[in-house]
Structure 1
């Protein structure tokens, strides 16, 4: 946290756009990925483990990339990765950065599309109105909730943290495949980290109270002038229309003037993919794995 300003200078030094290159995300998920960082040749290099395999994020720059500096930095990192008996892997490289890597000298580089980690990008006007036949089912659930539920939409405050965590723990109960269960355990810690540091992080939080209890909450952050990134969205699935309501109300109340909403990736989980596709993304922000040899 003490290096937040350093991170943000690099994060905003180039239009990375992907949800992974964001201080709040890096901070709240740092334990899962065992993140480390170092400045090499003026580039901020962030490393970690993804399902047990070492990786780095694209080295972050404060200005347009210098191919010589980037190539030399990758050589240093490639030599360090030899101790892992793994080639140097870069994860979450956005598609618009492929050109920065394709023509680097002294390296053999391969690119693999990472569909499980594509960011889902939606038009704000779609999510804040739910107009049109494709949103008919969503609008029906939302209208049912609005007509039949006494609720309060409120800003997220420190006094609601315990209730948010109670809801998070309740939602992870049940039978899940081992990988998804592990992710839910790590997500609980990530949400806690984000909530207890809400004054130091740059997101906007909101909750829906029913009978004075948090039954839904969300965290979103404006990453550019026209994009809102949704970090977390949780709702009691037993209450019909509640998921639609927290999504809709947050877009209505907090996303004025924002053209796009980034709802992050589905990580290859079928239920999450189905849910995100059901809101009809306007586009995907493609990401690549890069192997440097």
Structure 2
């Protein structure tokens, strides 16, 4: 998800703010259908709920989630348990379309995964316009690639990693409540630099999102790890196993002034936590050229396509 500079009040669209107590409800939907997309995940929704003014409501048995993106209101694909009933989905979209009229915007669905297109294309009672959203494609990697860095294509990564391992005394440890403040402080330190206004906005909101995730680590389902150098947190990551095959990386932060540190936190976390995992989802690049270059440099085995859908 990409942060937005403009704000639209969507508080009248759906009834309920997302609370940590809603995790069980959300997971009943999210875990019963192979949504796969990083956006359809309770930890992500909870972390970023303030930025996107996310709200939810169960309509016709479907979990509907609204927010805003670049100042325009949107919904996530209404979430079903196990399978979609076309008549129920169609009626739910009609209800949501009528609510969107108060904003003078068409009903827009964001982050629809490619494997769900057919469920929506088969709806006959609405005219739907589909548009590929490349900036929000998820990058999917083979876990074995990231935990070994074998082969010529990873030569540069392995060089940086080896330099770090040879020249740095470090400690790799799980994140515990005692490290929360240090991880937040690292996130704050890394905001310094020459960034565009949109990137600054992202970093400000990322700090709040990281804080939300870390302060609720006992309730949320992710695993966290940190790298300590001279007793100080200089890198950390948060990842969550979303199904039997996939680890989703929510956050990865590292002091870029320490050569090989980014490679090390990624490599060590995948070695430790992805032993029985086939795939690693490192989320989207949000249209930022530097992020796209970094994510492509790890050679994803595929991109999980997502679509915008306008309901007319």
Q: TM-score, normalised by structure 2?
A: 0.93
The yes-or-no answer on 1:208 pairing with 2:227 is: yes
Distance in 2 separating the partners of 1:227 and 1:244: 20
Q: What CA deviation, in whole Å up to 9, does each residue of 1:56-85 have, x standing for no partner?
A: 000001131000000000000001001111
The yes-or-no answer on 1:73 pairing with 2:92 is: yes
Partner of 1:122: 141
Match of 1:185 among 204, 217, 223: 204
Unaligned runs of 5+ in 2: 1-19
Match of 2:53 among 20, 34, 38: 34
Distance in 1 separating the partners of 2:249 and 2:210: 13
Q: What CA deviation, in whole Å up to 9, does each residue of 1:226-252 have, x standing for no partner?
A: 100000000010100000000000000
Unaligned runs of 5+ in 1: none
Distance in 2 separating the partners of 1:172 and 1:116: 22
Partner SS for 2:74: strand
Compute the RMSD of aligned alpha carbons: 0.6
Q: What CA deviation, in whole Å up to 9, does each residue of 1:91-144 have, x standing for no partner?
A: 000000000001212211010000000000000111000011110000000000
Pairs aligned (count):
293
Partner SS for 1:30: coil
Partner SS for 2:84: coil
Runs of 4 or more consecutive aligned structure 1 residues displaced over 4 Å after TM superposition: none
Question: Structure 2 matches for 1:134-283, cutoff 5 A?
Answer: 134-283=153-302
Distance in 1 separating the partners of 2:276 and 2:21: 31
Distance in 2 separating the partners of 1:29 and 1:38: 17
Distance in 1 separating the partners of 2:262 and 2:125: 50
The yes-or-no answer on 1:9 pairing with 2:47 is: no
Partner SS for 2:21: coil
Q: What CA deviation, in whole Å up to 9, does each residue of 1:235-271 have, x standing for no partner?
A: 0101000000000000001111100000000000011
The yes-or-no answer on 1:284 pairing with 2:303 is: yes
